[in-house]
Copies of this chain bind each other. A is one copy, B any other.
Amino acid sequence: MIPLPKGFSVTGVRCGLKNKRNDLGMIVSDRDAKSAGVFTTNQVRASCVDYSRTAVGSGALRAIVVNSGNANCCNGEQGVRDTQRMAELAAEGLGLDPGSIAVGSTGVIGQLLDMSKVEKGIREASQKLGQDVRTFMDAILTTDLVEKWAWTNPGRKDVVSPQSLTQRQHAATQEALVIGFAKGSGMIAPNMATMLGYIITDADVEGLDLQAILKRAADASFNCMTVDGDTSTNDMLILMANGASKKAATEEEFESALTAVCVSLAKQVARDGEGATKLIEVRVQGSSDPKKIARTIGESPLVKTAMFGCDPNWGRILMAAGRAGVPFLTSDVRLSLIAADEEHVLFEDNAPASFDPKRVSSALKSDQVVIDLRLGAGDSATVYTCDFGYGYVRINAEYHT
């Protein structure tokens, strides 16, 4: 059972924007929540992005309404009106102010929303609020293969997620809860992989600068993740903190919990990347701009296809590092792959290391691989990505508008 923070209820219903599964979801707080948001940097963006940025900026968010199956993007003035109407419908159903409601959309670009379906869905959802998180997650997923969620408590280090080995229970009476839901990297016909993330908490975060904390957490997680380097028009990450647990979290406790949840979600999104067979962590150590190098490796189609093929192709990794535009010396490079509990050094002391290609290739069949690149003295960064195989092409080429 996936827990919910106190004072929150959720739901998801099917209104017909998609053929199967739920397509309209809601998160509602029974009291004003402090909030923060991080939004797509793409200049071509959906009207819901602008609307939600304003709602988050109002200082007292009460609800989030999201549809999947249609991104309501590039729809001109009608699109703007439809986003506004979604908030108004939710406000009517919930007895709230439309300005206190954030709106998310994900799906096809350039087709008007069928507002009769949306209206029916929002009315129904307003009546069905409850504690069943899965109905909500189902409503925001598109062709994601799995649900993505993660939770922890401020002050604790371990995160509970679909991947965690121990599924401990949330002690609702004793601790505040930080939980996040995400969708992303499944193909959204006919367009792109929107990343939606919603994080809710009942921790008392009075006095904390949530926007700054969320931005740092996003920089350490979602902004360290890449599937194909493309950025959706509809990406958004929203945090709601309603304080209902009355348990205060220090900035350090809260930021640590929030970041852990975001990192877990980002890894789940990368692992479920289109056509992916494995999660790849690119760790770069000892550089003036390790993130730039890690991202260049993580976005290199040659590296990603090599990982798909379980090929310990260190030349491609060095090539990608070298073209990132950040200075280093080849003579300082140590490159290894970590997979299946084995570390294999591929390059060091200015020369290829002696390794058994078959053994490394076999280790690379693991569903989780670390590319570890050390360049001397300097900072460290990690980027999360996935491999790149036939599935990506199939998902993205075999759709016809």
Question: Which residue of the partner chain, among B73, B306, B310, B392, contacts A305 with CB atoms under 8 Å?
Answer: B392
Is A192 among interface residues, defined by CB-CB distance under 8 A? yes
Cβ of A312 under 8 Å from chain B: yes
Contacts known (A190-B311, A400-B309); A319 close to B393, Cβ less than 8 A: no
Which of A157-165, A254-262, A350-358 lies at the interface? A350-358
Residues A350 and B76 in contact, CB atoms below 8 Å apart: yes
Of all chain B residues, the one with the shortest Cβ separation from A42 is B322
Contact, CB under 8 Å: B232 / A319: yes
For chain A, residues 54 to 109, give those with C-beta under 8 angstroms from any C-beta of chain B.
73-76, 108-109
Chain B residue nearest to A75 in the complex (CB): B351
Q: How far is the CA of A398 from the CA of B299 in the complex (A)?
A: 19
Interface membership of A191, Cβ < 8 A: yes
Q: Is A51 on the interface with B (CB-CB < 8 A)?
A: no
Cβ of A342 within 8 Å of any chain B Cβ, yes or no, is no
- A22 vs B313: C-alpha distance when bound (angstroms): 25
Flag the segment in A113-121, A173-181, A323-331 that touches B: A323-331
A322 touching B44 in the complex, CB below 8 Å, given contacts A301-B228, A313-B191: yes
Identical chains bound together, number = 2
Whether A308 contacts B393 by the Cβ 8 Å rule is yes
Counting contact residues on chain A (CB < 8 A from B), the size range is: 35 or more
Residue of chain B at shortest CB distance from A41? B323
Q: Mark A361-375, 1 if CB is under 8 A from B, else 0.
A: 100000000000000
CB-CB under 8 A from A17, the residues of chain B are: none
Q: Which residues on the B side are within 8 Å of A350 (C-beta)? A: 74, 76
Is B76 in contact with A44, judged by CB distance below 8 angstroms? no
Closest CB in chain B relative to A387 CB, distance in Å: 8
Cβ of A110 within 8 Å of any chain B Cβ, yes or no, is: yes
Contact A357 B74, beta carbon cutoff 8 Å: no
Does chain B have a CB within 8 A of A242?
no
Q: A192-B315, A229-B299, A230-B302 are in contact. Are A330 and B44 (CB under 8 A)?
A: yes
Measured CB to CB, the residues of A under 8 A from B are: 41-45, 73-76, 108-111, 190-192, 228-233, 299-302, 305-306, 308-316, 318-323, 325, 327-328, 330, 347, 350-352, 357, 361, 388-390, 392-393, 396-401
13 sample A-B contacts, Cβ–Cβ < 8 Å, listed by A number: A41-B325, A43-B323, A43-B327, A44-B322, A74-B318, A109-B319, A110-B352, A230-B319, A232-B319, A309-B397, A311-B400, A311-B401, A389-B397
Beyond contacts A43-B327, A190-B311: 4 other A-B pairs, Cβ-Cβ < 8 A, are A74-B330, A231-B319, A309-B397, A393-B393
